[in-house]
Structure 1
């Protein structure tokens, strides 16, 4: 049996684990990074990048179909599904290759392959029998798709997740997408625009991450017209029939059924912690199986164990995983002299069209905290630049604190929300007031003028409170 003694052991070589390794290595060379999967990070291999490649192709197809409205005639439009997927895989593999090259460039003694589990506090075992005694441990095992086991058993290879669809050699004819969160929305719209027959199924009426009731209503109305969508149906019944899947559900007072080539399970992800045997390490867990931890340091309780990234179920986004990995790795390296790390203003973007975003505090967060805030909004229906581009759909609502007029957050549904959300997140993190933001330059004609309109409405609402 091989036995290794290290100061820091990091479980998982995804975004959080890689960042934790670099941060911990600033303190010690006695460390190991353990990976059981194919490597390359979820973002590069099966998340952010391949999904945006698919969305980019879908956006081009949609633009070509809409060109006639501008007097531009596009004849003979065709989507070559095999070519679309070939580019997705080619560019995906390029991004993954960059990540793998980075890890392969680290000392071989620091890299271990295998599935790790705790066999005691500070003690790990790999599936090849190797044992590791670690002064500190960073858990960065990521997350995996949430899929009912009964569906897997019933559908076999006709059930896919977002970790598998990018390996399709060509686009299928029809896909049922179950889940109206970020993953389900992005992929359903992209496939729909690429000519795949799609139906989006939602257990509840909720669509996407936006929490403001006005925005939820607007997004729901958009989804119902943007693609075939069945919401508020609970769990549909699924069955394998030959080389396809039949989905049955009850909607609008009637029983319905539809046949698809695949069912895409996109109803969220859960932390990948089940195989770690956290009980052997003496770590308590909550009802999700996640150990309670301090987001400012990454520390689990008062133990020498730290957690970061999607494994923590806290802000499951790449830039947040990178920050959390840096914080956890730094504190694991310097333990027991912990140092709180910078957690940036929350920023979340959904790459549908129109896009969705939350910058700073959400409406739900402000309401739950009992914050005293006012609201300003702009409807993009008549916003100049948006109308010029025929992208004049959506709503932006900004939130300001009564008393000092400080911008607290915003929720967006509209064109180029990814860019507007960044401006707003930066303003929130700086602590800008609404008045200070209105003192900034706004060019004409640009979408940012819509932001100015919303801020002006917010300023009036705040002044009316005096």
Structure 2
């Protein structure tokens, strides 16, 4: 049995970050991946294929808009071509996550399902055993399959199967209105499918600022049929089509489509690890419980990424992975903080989020300031004929940025300036005094931040003082 300084279970974003970082520092590392290749859910079933699909759908959408210039476009989307583009993106990025690359770093890579034998020993595919002085669980998550009568008989798509489709359905029903469903629903809508989203709660995008939520619903409803307060009761087959029977406001209704997509949430991949053998605590939903140092109830075992239930984002797993290298390899005892963790929902327009919403900021700070500016006030968006969206920055009374939110084309990119400002402790006034090349989209941040100085300088007693000074100075 081989012994390692660190055993990493899971070859996704978090696990790869830990394995490469630890090996670079001289640790003897084993990396165990259940699937056939490294890269994890993000590369094969999540971030990469979904963004490739969205890009293809947006290309189709923009082609259809050429009618504005006198061109006409006809024909139907060839889903085989779309699938090919998605696979090309995966293959290109897979090179960076290749087994050979990690073996060249000195990492021993194993393929097979991992299980705990005790708190230090892991068995791989019930054949080989390895010993880890410290262990990191980074096994990710998978789609929840709700217990809906008839679902298994009718069949369905998830994010693990949708990117292999070679035919475009006329109608697709999405059960669940989370970010994954909304991104794929809009993409399919732009490719030519009628997309219907059935959402249990009152509103979609529940973690977003309320004003951003309202705008997002308005924009997305132009392309997607979103039905709220829906409780799915049964699914059945009607010839070649699928019927979803649901309750809405006390009434039983039904919707018919060619295909179903499950977007009802995610569940952690812990059920086959037998973590209880190692004494690792999990909560009622199956997530591994961790402390601020990302340690489990067994101090030498850590958990990062989707499996710990904090934030289901690739970049969150990567951030946690870097911290784990410091803690598990170097013993520094660093604490994780999610206060400045941003995320983007890649619908069109994109939705950006960092820090607190207005409601959260009021609850924690009491008195706050809110600065908001529509994209129609930004020359670049006007020139691009794409003024759909807004920027909202929330601060305390001293101008410290508590949260920032945006909806607009490319918001996930041009809002990066705010991330840096929050990371470095800069205030909203600093965002105003920066020089922004004209005309660019990030000027939306400047226009919003300028409101701070107008509030500070041009209201209250200061204008009266400067008026007297100017008269004296003359």
Q: Same fold (TM over 0.5)?
A: yes
The residue aligned with 2:451 is 457
Tell me the alpha carbon deviations over residues 141-188 of structure 1, each in whole angstroms, 9 at most, x when there is no partner.
Answer: 11111121446x634573111111111123333211122221111100
The residue aligned with 1:222 is 219
Tell me the alpha carbon deviations over residues 338-359 of structure 1, each in whole angstroms, 9 at most, x when there is no partner.
Answer: 3457878311011111110102
Q: Matches of 2:25 and 2:443 in 1, distance apart? A: 48
Return 417-426 or 244-253, whichever deviates more. 244-253
The residue aligned with 2:465 is none
Residues 191-340 of structure 1: pairs in structure 2 closer than 5 A: 191-208=188-205, 210-235=207-232, 237-251=234-248, 255-295=252-292, 297-301=293-297, 303-335=299-331, 338-340=333-335
The residue aligned with 1:366 is 361
User: Does 2:403 correspond to 1:409?
Assistant: yes
| Structure 1 gap segments, 5+ residues each | none
- Check whether the contact 2:279–2:298 (CA below 8 A) recurs between aligned residues: no
Structure 2 counterpart of 1:89, from 87, 90, 94: 87
The residue aligned with 1:57 is 56
The residue aligned with 1:66 is 65
Q: Matches of 2:107 and 2:407 in 1, distance apart? A: 48
Q: Matches of 1:104 and 1:328 in 2, distance apart? A: 18
Return 26-35 or 182-191, whichever deviates more. 26-35
- Check whether the contact 1:357–1:421 (CA below 8 A) recurs between aligned residues: yes
The residue aligned with 1:75 is 73
Q: Matches of 2:176 and 2:196 in 1, distance apart? A: 11
Return 347-356 or 129-138, whichever deviates more. 129-138
- Check whether the contact 1:374–1:461 (CA below 8 A) recurs between aligned residues: no
SS at match of 1:314: coil
What is the aligned residue count?
A: 459
User: Does 2:5 correspond to 1:11?
Assistant: no
How far does residue 72 in structure 1 lie from its aligned partner after superposition? 3.9
Structure 2 counterpart of 1:124, from 119, 122, 125: 122
Residues 104-183 of structure 1: pairs in structure 2 closer than 5 A: 105-106=103-104, 110-150=108-148, 154-156=151-153, 158-183=155-180
Q: 1:345 to 1:352 in 2, by over 3 A?
A: same
Q: 1:374 to 1:181 in 2, by over 3 A?
A: same
| Structure 2 gap segments, 5+ residues each | 462-474
Q: Matches of 1:462 and 1:123 in 2, distance apart? A: 61
How far does residue 368 in structure 1 lie from its aligned partner after superposition? 4.4
User: Does 2:427 correspond to 1:428?
Assistant: no
- Check whether the contact 1:360–1:408 (CA below 8 A) recurs between aligned residues: yes
Structure 1 counterpart of 2:441, from 439, 447, 451: 447
User: Does 2:392 correspond to 1:393?
Assistant: no
Larger Rg: 2
Tell me the alpha carbon deviations over residues 47-74 of structure 1, each in whole angstroms, 9 at most, x when there is no partner.
Answer: 11111111111111111222333x3423
Tell me the alpha carbon deviations over residues 232-289 of structure 1, each in whole angstroms, 9 at most, x when there is no partner.
Answer: 2133532234443211234477643222222111122122112222221112222332
Return 107-116 or 214-223, whichever deviates more. 107-116
Return 279-288 or 194-203, whichever deviates more. 279-288
Return 417-426 or 108-117, whichever deviates more. 108-117
SS at match of 1:303: coil
How far does residue 104 in structure 1 lie from its aligned partner after superposition? 5.8
* TM-score, normalised via structure 1 length: 0.89
Q: Matches of 1:128 and 1:241 in 2, distance apart? A: 44
Q: Matches of 1:161 and 1:210 in 2, distance apart? A: 22
